[in-house]
Amino acid sequence: MNTNNNVYTIVYTTIVVVVAAAILAIAAMALKPKQDANIKAETISQMLTAAGFSDKDALAKLGNDQILAMYSGNIKTAFLIDKDGNKTGELETDVNDIELQDNLKVENKNIAAGNPSLPVYVFEKDGAEINVIPIYGAGLWGPIWGYIAFDANCSKIVGAYFDHESETPGLGAKIKDEAWFREEFVGKEVNFAKPDDSFDIIKGGAPKDDKSAVDAITGATMTCNGLDAALDTWFKAYMPFLQKKAGAAAADDDACCGGACGKECDGQCEHEHNHQEG
């Protein structure tokens, strides 16, 4: 065979390309289950960190099976809601078949189109209910996302975790790297009276009496602006659900103040209830 002619070169090159492509395809198919398992464990570890079950660094040292077991052992229920805050379906929480709504990029587009299918993950920690929801948006150089944990009434934030694809190390990347930034969110509230701008990350410092704002990271203005926009977008999408939870809690308090709940009330309500009994 003449190895110097064009036909030989073309045939040889074609065979090499086809074989290489086949090897890569087989390798990709073989590795996909492990990649999917790693992604699921990483997503769950972010939720568990936001909910306060462990530190992200500690979770990173665990195997995937341990992370999935921690999730399954502490979650009460997981479900999907529509734009009106109504439940539309359940997500499996059994350790052998955990379901997540983790394609946040797609859901971000669905929010903009007005037809989201939003996940809610409800954990139980120390006898209290914790509701975890995701957020997603655009940072300076790429996507940013995270998970926000609310108390049982969805009236206060009890934890947060943020991540990014390519924010600047030492600046925008601090949304993930700096615990102090995440800790700022604890005790804050979503401002139901301002659904389009229900939470703020303020350059130069948030007012101390602002219950719906935190300080921005110095030198990371664009990343913080992107995170601010993501929070507003996703909090607005979840607003009907959050308001229903808060409204149900308020109704329970009213019933308690009327003496119908059969248990102790809190604060002024408790005082008035005791006064009525006296």
Q: Would you kindly state where each structural domain of the chain is located, as residue ranges?
A: 37-277
d(CA 203, CA 73): 40
Contact 242, 192 (CB under 8 A): yes
Contact 29, 36 (CB under 8 A): no
Residue 27 tokens, joined? 């390798």
145 three-state secondary structure: strand
d(CA 190, CA 199): 6
Residue 3 has pLDDT above 80, yes or no: no
d(CA 209, CA 111): 31
d(CA 245, CA 189): 13
Instruction: Give the containing element (helix H, strand E) for 65.
Output: helix 64-74
Q: List strand residue ranges (DSSP E) for the chain, in order.
A: 75-81, 87-90, 118-125, 128-138, 143-150, 157-164, 200-202, 213-215
Decide which of 257 and 172 is more confident: 172
Closest CA to 253 of 121, 155, 120: 155
Closest CA to 144 of 114, 174, 119: 174
Decide which of 26 and 158 is more confident: 158
- Residue type at 174 in one-letter notation: K
Mean pLDDT of the chain: 88
Contact 197, 167 (CB under 8 A): no
d(CA 106, CA 273): 49
Question: What mean pLDDT comes out for the span 51-77?
Answer: 95
Integer-rounded Cα Rg, in Å, for the chain is 24
Give the rounded distance of the alpha carbon of 266 from its chain centre.
Answer: 30
CB atoms within 10 A of CB 228: 20
**Local structure of residue 167 (DSSP, 8 states):** P
d(CA 268, CA 201): 32
What percent of the chain lies above the pLDDT cut of 90? 74
Question: What mean pLDDT comes out for the span 128-144?
Answer: 97
**Local structure of residue 263 (DSSP, 8 states):** S
Of 26-40, 78-92, 116-130, 168-182, the least confident: 26-40
Residue 276 has pLDDT above 90, yes or no: no
Q: Return the C-alpha torsion angle 165, 74, 154, 225, nearest 10.
A: -10
Report pTM: 0.81
pLDDT digits (tens, 9 = 90+) for 213-246: 999 999 999 999 999 999 999 999 999 999 999 9
Closest CA to 131 of 155, 151, 157: 151
